[in-house]
Amino acid sequence: TTIYEYSDSGLDDYTNYSYRVRAENQIGKTFSPFSSEVTIKTEKKVPDAPTNLEATSISTNQINLTWSEWSSNESVFAILRATSSAGPFTEIDTVGKNIESYSDNTVLKDKTYYYLVAARNSAGDSGYTNRASTTTPDEKPGVPTGLASTVSLSTGVEVEVTLTWNDKRDKEVGF
């Protein structure tokens, strides 16, 4: 007796599938009668994992997250956060299906946060996204002071203006 196996994939959730088997003879292409029928009902699948998680520090008390969703059967997306790259990660909130962004307004200034996102339905949680992190600024940038300008002519036609100012803090990322 030899045991044969067949795998059927790409099946829909909560759907009945029935199978029968019959043997084929290579000489004359004749077939046996069908076996008895077996019917199975598929269960709900865990959603596909979201990808491309990005975390952006917006202010001293806000970090925005964005991700790409690939599932069509999620109920919510779970947002997890940690203050260490190794965790522990704690679920801080959920957002509805088909949503690909979240604003975390519970963060503190001058602190690094790490995030994961998973899709969820009644069958369970997907795998996690990549880990994303960002650091909130220490405080709002200071107002530059002492703005001055110098005008100069070069080659008799072009006018060049040079601006100078004082920076009271070192937390800025640009002017």
If you average pLDDT over each of 49-58, 151-160, 164-173, which comes out highest? 49-58
Q: Mean of the pLDDT values across residues 50-69?
A: 95
pLDDT for position 170: 64
Residue 134: pLDDT over 90: yes
pLDDT for position 49: 94
**Neighbour tally for 131: CB within 10 Å:** 16
The values of phi and psi at residue 34, to 5°, are: -70, 150
Residue 77: pLDDT over 90: yes
∠ CA 39-40-46, nearest 5°, is 165
Q: What residue type is assigned to position 97 of the chain?
A: K
pLDDT per position as a tens digit, 117-128: 999 998 899 999
Question: What confidence category does residue 31 fall into, taking pLDDT thresholds of 50, 70 and 90?
Answer: confident
SS3 assignment, position 23: coil
Are 43 and 66 within 8 A, CB to CB?
A: no
Q: Mean of the pLDDT values across residues 142-148?
A: 79
SS (H, E, C) 84-106: CCCCCCEEEEEEECCCCEEEECC
Q: Mean of the pLDDT values across residues 24-44?
A: 83
pTM for the full predicted model: 0.62
Least confident of 16-20, 44-48, 145-149: 145-149
